[in-house]
Amino acid sequence: MSARVVRDFGRVHGGAPEGVWAAPGRVNLIGEHTDYNDGFALPMALPQTAVLAARRRPDGLLRLHSAQGDGGVTELRVADLAPGTVPGWARYPAGVVWALRARGLPVGGADLHLDSTVPTGAGLSSSAALECAVAVAYAELYGLGLGRPELARVAQYAENAFAGVPCGVMDQMASVCCAEGSALHLDSRSLEVRQVPFDLGGHGLRLLVLDTGVKHDLADGAYAALRAGCERAARLLGLPALRDLGEPELPAALGRLPAELVPLVRHVVTENARVARAVELLTAGGPGALGPLLTAGHASLRDDYGVSCPEADLAVEAAVAAGALGARMTGGGFGGSVIALVRADGAAAVAGAVADAFAAAGFGAPAVLEAVPSAGARRIG
């Protein structure tokens, strides 16, 4: 894709870019809605990436073009960037430039051309991939000297304060910090990370991503309401965050909370425990044993957190019935994708069973791709 992006950059902006960068989407193996509770997660980067060709401008203009856009160029003055002023996809890259300037960093304008293979609206962090591609490119172009966790924080701030999505930091940390062949054990409070080997092929396994086709928009208020509920529960319990509540203390803590907060807290605490168990299993070399954890995590997201949908529930049910070792929705929910851990020789049967179940239910056919643990954001040209 690098050569195509360079060619298209020249067609749109004239001349050659100073470089080409790529940042991946992600799937989260386990640890959903834990990051904004200072908790733990276990994502991995996808082979699908947002690719960015970029060149600095001396005149303070930011000129944005996307191969997935309407063909037009969005032209903005860097000095005028402010939350709520940029619509559509352009708010993600523009937000990163704004966030860097909000930190007092000496960044100016640029010509940017983006081309992404990360499916949008599928819960695979297409927005974080865009943000992180811009963050790593600007860091290099302008010599900012920011470390990977700092770049993730910048990208998260852009999504929170500029794009208006109150997400945690997991998506951005996965996009910038993941390593090929590994899952990323993330502590969302300290931003400490550990690469955990995730050798699917060596164990005769594959991880399928089943896109339900139900588009989600985390800026629609439901996500913000869940986060606010968790923060309220932590205050009522006298805790800095729900991450500070362990499983042994959970029953007593639930008895001190209003009924509407009980299922939220139960999910976060048990999900953190599932992350810890998943890391133990992978460290011991047993990726196939993750299956029951995935399915249990989906039940918690469905029944306690209330972020699943009929299509995702059906995909999980059909995949497990067809021989998947485990399956669950991945991402923020309200649509998006399901991951299914399958034996390599049974992958086609599982995908076919989910497609058949969708057809019988009158749902559109799910798109299927394979999740391969891939590298994080990097310069590619």
Residues belonging to the active site? 171
Best CA proximity match to 172, nearest among 149, 194, 190: 149
CA triple 98-152-197, angle to 5 deg? 160
Determine how many CB atoms are found less than 10 A away from the CB of residue 364. 12
For every residue of 120-141, DSSP letters joined together read: TTSSS-HHHHHHHHHHHHHHHH
Residues in the chain: 381
* Residues contacting residue 295 through CB under 8 Å, at least 6 positions apart: 316, 320, 326, 327, 328
Best CA proximity match to 373, nearest among 47, 127, 144, 23: 47
* Residues contacting residue 37 through CB under 8 Å, at least 6 positions apart: 168, 188, 230, 234, 241, 242, 243, 268
Q: Are 297 and 264 in contact (CB under 8 A)?
A: no
Residue keyed to tokens 């034996």: 343
Q: What is the CA radius of gyration of the chain?
A: 21
Best CA proximity match to 200, nearest among 37, 376, 29, 26: 29
- In whole angstroms, what is the distance from residue 270 CA to residue 301 CA? 11
Amino acid letter, 332: G
Q: Are 64 and 70 in contact (CB under 8 A)?
A: no
